Amino acid sequence: MSYSQASRSQYEASQHANSFIDSDLPQSDESLDALGSQSIAQSTPVSDTPPPPQYPRAPDLLQRVGKLFQPSYILYNCDKTDPMMETSRIQFLKWWLMTEFGSKKELQKSIRWDTIQKKSDVWSSFDQVANARTGEPKVMCNRCQSVVVHPRFNRSGPSPMKNHLNSAYCTQSRKTTKQAASINKHGIQPDNPPEEDPQVYHDHPSPIPHC
């Protein structure tokens, strides 16, 4: 066998052996190290989305109000006969400033819980409240416990409150209450006093006087 034939046979044998090797797999130590590092990186998921913020729960000292099976609200205490009123207000403001809505600078400037100008008589029918989960400011009708947008939220003013008091829902609620009171007053049904609306709950023992 000549030298050229021997070289050709050696080349063909080498090519035949290489045909059993996956060309896509790295063969050097450096390539193997790189592949290992890549596998580790891929096995560790990296999320660009930060975890949702955790907002504090309202202190137990604060009163929860609202209708059953609906979002509960935290009452801003306006009972001037309550010796705990100031303490309750301080706790309310501390909590509210850490809520989703209360932490917004623009709301901190517009919502002034303790210095709000109550120039309209409509305020005698509403209490200031905040959503127990988000801190969204609202006012609650003390006749039917419906919530209405806070007059200083987005500069809504007292018009939504007036519209609610004149609405069929709130008017019907007042008529039902007056009819029940009239029945008791005249003794038509002395053994059947008007029942409290089962859809409304308060965790305080008595109604809260208005600011």
Consecutive 10-residue averages of pLDDT for the chain (211 residues): 56 54 54 54 60 85 90 92 93 96 92 73 91 96 92 87 91 58 47 46 52 64
Contact of 99 with 135, CB cutoff 8 Å: yes
Q: Residue 28 has what pLDDT?
A: 55
DSSP state letter for 21? S
∠ CA(115), CA(118), CA(123), 5° rounding?
Answer: 125
Q: Residue 154 has what pLDDT?
A: 84
Helix (H, G, I), strand (E, B) or coil at 138: strand
77: tokens are: 């205490």
Sign of CA dihedral 30, 33, 39, 44: negative
Q: What's phi and psi for 200, nearest 5 deg?
A: -120, 135
Alpha-carbon gap, residue 192 to 27, rounded angstroms: 92
Q: Assign residue 9 a region: left if phi > 0, alpha if psi is -120 to 50, beta otherwise?
A: alpha
Give the pTM.
0.61
Q: Residue 1 has what pLDDT?
A: 56
- Identify each DSSP E strand in the chain by its residue range: 64-67, 73-75, 126-131, 137-141, 147-149, 200-202
Q: Residue 139 has what pLDDT?
A: 95
203: tokens are: 């965790």
For the chain, domain boundaries: 64-170
Residue type at 23 in one-letter notation: S
Alpha-carbon gap, residue 20 to 9, rounded angstroms: 18
